[in-house]
Amino acid sequence: MTSTRRVILPAALALLAAPGRSPVAQNLTAASAVGPTGEGQEIEGPITRLDPARRTIVLDDGQEYLIPPAVLDNPAALSEGAAVKLRYDIDGGRNIVKYVLVRA
């Protein structure tokens, strides 16, 4: 049953995006192909894993967050166990941090 849904949903979206259909349906299909997007998400929690080379952290929610150099030029300022507050966007399924606050 699950594999049938996986086949039907893309086919239905393709029909919605056919020429002459609404631009909203076409945009939905395009967004589905690259992953979810979202802006202005916030989360707080301790860092459970840190990878300074990749500029990523994982919080206790199990999600990975990418911290661009423009947001935090010194990733060494972060440490495992440190409590942080993040504001982030979701771009192509990746959590991209826009703001970091390290809790004291």
pLDDT digit string, tens, across residues 12-39:
444 444 455 444 444 443 444 455 667 8
Q: What are 84's two structure tokens?
A: 């942080």
Q: What is the mean pLDDT of residues 74-102?
A: 93
pTM, rounded to two decimals: 0.63
**30-34, 58-62, 96-100: lowest mean pLDDT where?**
30-34
* Angle in degrees, 0-180, between the axes of helices 2-16 and 23-34, rounded to the nearest 10: 140
Q: Across the chain, where does the E strand assignment appear?
A: 38-51, 56-59, 64-66, 83-91, 94-102
Cβ contact 94:63 at 8 Å: no
Cβ contact 87:95 at 8 Å: no
Q: Residue 10 in 3-state DSSP?
A: helix
Q: What pLDDT sits at residue 76?
A: 80
How high does pLDDT run on average in the chain?
76
Residue with the larger pLDDT of the pair 76 and 16: 76
